[in-house]
Amino acid sequence: MTNTPGQPTPALQSPEDTIREASHGSRLDPWTQSYAQRTAGMTTSEIRALFAVASRPEVVSLAGGMPYLSALPMDTVAATVAQMLATQGLTALQYGSGQGDPTLREQILEVMALEGISAHADDVVVTTGSQQALDLVTRIFIDPGDVVLAEAPSYVGALGVFASYQAYVAHVASDDDGLVPQALEDRINELLASGKRIKFLYTVPNFHNPAGTTLSLQRRPQILEICQRHDILVLEDNPYGLLGFEGDPPAAMRSMSDEGVVYLGTFSKTFAPGLRVGWALAPHAVREKLVLASESAILCPSAYAQMTVSAYLATCDWKGQIKVYRELYRERRDAMVESLGALLPQASWTHPEGGFYVWLTLPEGLNAKAMLPRAITERVAYVPGTAFFADGTGHRHVRLSYCYPEPDRIREGVRRFAGVVQSELELLETFGPYDVTAGRTTPSRSVQSPTPDLS
């Protein structure tokens, strides 16, 4: 467990102290020279540590992403699980198919039909959460240095996956209606001109995490056309599509294109995340590789979890449950947006029509990352915008989540947050505008977001 000893400063060492030369530096980790290059971003950070405080009840956390599971009829769910085990226990507890339970794959088609998708169950691959599907798609497409196009901002979990495969993430300008088609076209041309290989566009078209925006129906075929013309796959990640507050779910991009889109779905927000059941819908050749990749990663997804979801879909009013969720998230969205309007006129934010998040832009000159410790002192937590960009930007933005706290807590959280913003503005007034990246000791590649179990 030794490294090359550093050179002792001559002035500090007298010639007779030869014994001292024998002491080698230790790094408390014998494997520092062994880790793969793809682990470069896997370090602790001050930001991640601050979220440990956010789990305390004294802190109003607007930083988490946990669905409000108290809305589930737990007795019914428990009975469903018990019944499933009693009648199908031997299957539920045994190894299953690498591609996933066939019954569930058929049921998933019904779920996707709500968004206009028609497909074949053979093209569905069940995964351990759509997070794993994201990982598998990246694994089969990305060589180090390959380009992934992403919205600006993009989902932090996806950025983590892309980093772990050493992809180059190119953010593309987005506005209140989602990805901007012309910006996509321009960025693609720019990247191709510099000799880069672009493999896919990662998009979260509905009730975006963190932006809260939805890609307009008008833009969807435009985006598809641009990508198709340049032979770029579209990876459509849709956890929130059924959680819109108004009207019917938007038509999925996959419903407009069979061959050019890999669609990712999940039961995390419509049912429950603890089961870890998601899926990829892919063209058959891609699907084949995904199955093989999944088998080598996990052998097979949890039969127990899949059959729980399957039993739930078959015997419980899952569509009714989605309606219950929608109403409760709508109420929370309203509480957040109303209190922001009343208390933070100096900021601006997106108005989500569904999902869990508001994306707020702070007054100019403020730095959401630098502000977080003060927010924690004031007992409110949020995720700084820097977590959602691969290029080190995002300091002026904040993701506020409203999915978990009760509406009154949300209002209290916004009140505290407004106080923090006010104190920061006073600091800014005193010290004037400054370069947010000057002299910072933390590189932007370290983990910047909370663990999934932060409410």
Partner 1 sequence: MRHVLVLAGGLSHERDVSLRSGRRVADALSRSGVEVHVRDVDQTLVDAIKSSPPEVVWPVLHGATGEDGALRDVLTSLGIAYVGSRPASCHLTWDKPVAKALLAAAGISTPAGVALSHATFRELGAPALLESVVDSLGLPLAVKPTRGGSALGLTIVRSAADLPSAMIAAYAYGDIALIEQFIAGTEVALSIVEDEHGHARSLPAVEIVPDGGVYSYEARYTAGATEFFTPARLSSSAAESAAAASLTAYRTLGHRHLSRVDLIIDADERPWFLEANVSPGMTETSLFPMAIEAAGLETSGVYAGIVERALTIN
In one letter, which amino acid is 25?
Answer: G
Rounded to whole angstroms, how far apart are CA atoms 147 and 135?
15
Site string for partner 1, 373-412 (x = CB under 8 A): xx-xx-----------------------------------
Rounded to whole angstroms, how far apart are CA atoms 71 and 271?
10
Should residue 307 be labelled a site residue for partner 1 when binding is judged by CB under 8 A?
no
Should residue 258 be labelled a site residue for partner 1 when binding is judged by CB under 8 A?
no
Strand 198-203 relative to strand 147-151, pairing: parallel
Stretch that binds partner 1, among 42-50, 68-76, 221-229, 233-241 (CB under 8 A): 42-50
Smallest gap, in angstroms, from Cβ of residue 325 to partner 1? 31
Which positions ≥6 away from 414 have C-beta within 8 Å?
Answer: 62, 336, 339, 340, 343, 344, 400
Smallest gap, in angstroms, from Cβ of residue 258 to partner 1? 46
When the beta carbons of 194 and 430 are compared against partner 1, the nearer one is: 430
Which positions ≥6 away from 194 have C-beta within 8 Å?
Answer: none
Subset of residues 338 to 377 that bind partner 1, contact rule: CB under 8 A: 367, 370-374, 376-377
When the beta carbons of 59 and 233 are compared against partner 1, the nearer one is: 59
Should residue 44 be labelled a site residue for partner 1 when binding is judged by CB under 8 A?
yes
Q: Phi and psi dihedrals of 58, rounded to 5?
A: -70, -20
Rounded to whole angstroms, how far apart are CA atoms 46 and 44?
7
Number of residues engaging partner 1 in binding (CB under 8 A): 56
Smallest gap, in angstroms, from Cβ of residue 12 to partner 1? 6
Subset of residues 3 to 22 that bind partner 1, contact rule: CB under 8 A: 3, 6, 8-9, 11-14, 17, 20-21
Smallest gap, in angstroms, from Cβ of residue 7 to partner 1? 9
When the beta carbons of 52 and 71 are compared against partner 1, the nearer one is: 52
Should residue 37 be labelled a site residue for partner 1 when binding is judged by CB under 8 A?
no
Subset of residues 59 to 78 that bind partner 1, contact rule: CB under 8 A: 59
Should residue 425 be labelled a site residue for partner 1 when binding is judged by CB under 8 A?
no
Should residue 139 be labelled a site residue for partner 1 when binding is judged by CB under 8 A?
no
Stretch that binds partner 1, among 44-52, 77-85, 215-223, 295-303 (CB under 8 A): 44-52
The answer to whether residues 134 and 160 touch, using CB atoms and an 8 Å cutoff, is no
Of 97, 103, 446, 455, which lies in the binding site for partner 1, with binding defined by CB under 8 A? Answer: 446
When computed from its CA atoms, the radius of gyration of the chain, rounded to whole angstroms, is 24
Rounded to whole angstroms, how far apart are CA atoms 169 and 171?
6
- Report residue 136 as tokens: 């598998």
Strand (E) or helix (H) holding 321: helix 318-343
Of 38, 52, 120, 422, which lies in the binding site for partner 1, with binding defined by CB under 8 A? Answer: 52
Smallest gap, in angstroms, from Cβ of residue 38 to partner 1? 15
Should residue 89 be labelled a site residue for partner 1 when binding is judged by CB under 8 A?
no
Of 295, 317, 426, 453, which lies in the binding site for partner 1, with binding defined by CB under 8 A? Answer: 426
Smallest gap, in angstroms, from Cβ of residue 343 to partner 1? 21
With vertex at residue 343, the alpha carbon angle to CA 342 and CA 346, rounded to the nearest 5 degrees, is: 105
Helix (H, G, I), strand (E, B) or coil at 346: coil
Which of 70, 222, 214, 101 has the alpha carbon at shortest distance from 151? 214
When the beta carbons of 14 and 218 are compared against partner 1, the nearer one is: 14
Which positions ≥6 away from 209 have C-beta within 8 Å?
Answer: 65, 155, 239, 240, 355, 356, 357, 399
Of 27, 197, 323, 351, which lies in the binding site for partner 1, with binding defined by CB under 8 A? Answer: 27
Which of 263, 253, 264, 195 has the alpha carbon at shortest distance from 226? 253
Should residue 36 be labelled a site residue for partner 1 when binding is judged by CB under 8 A?
no
When the beta carbons of 218 and 430 are compared against partner 1, the nearer one is: 430
Of 222, 361, 442, 455, which lies in the binding site for partner 1, with binding defined by CB under 8 A? Answer: 442
Smallest gap, in angstroms, from Cβ of residue 88 to partner 1? 40
DSSP lists the bridge partners of residue 150 as: 171, 202
Please spell the DSSP secondary structure of 97-145, one letter per residue: -TT--HHHHHHHHHHHHTTT----GGGEEEESHHHHHHHHHHHHHPPTT
Terminal-residue alpha carbon distance, the chain? 40
Rounded to whole angstroms, how far apart are CA atoms 158 and 167?
11
Subset of residues 156 to 195 that bind partner 1, contact rule: CB under 8 A: none
Sites of contact with partner 1 (CB under 8 A): 3, 6, 8-9, 11-14, 17, 20-21, 23-29, 31-32, 43-46, 48-50, 52-53, 56, 58-59, 367, 370-374, 376-377, 426-432, 434-436, 438-442, 446
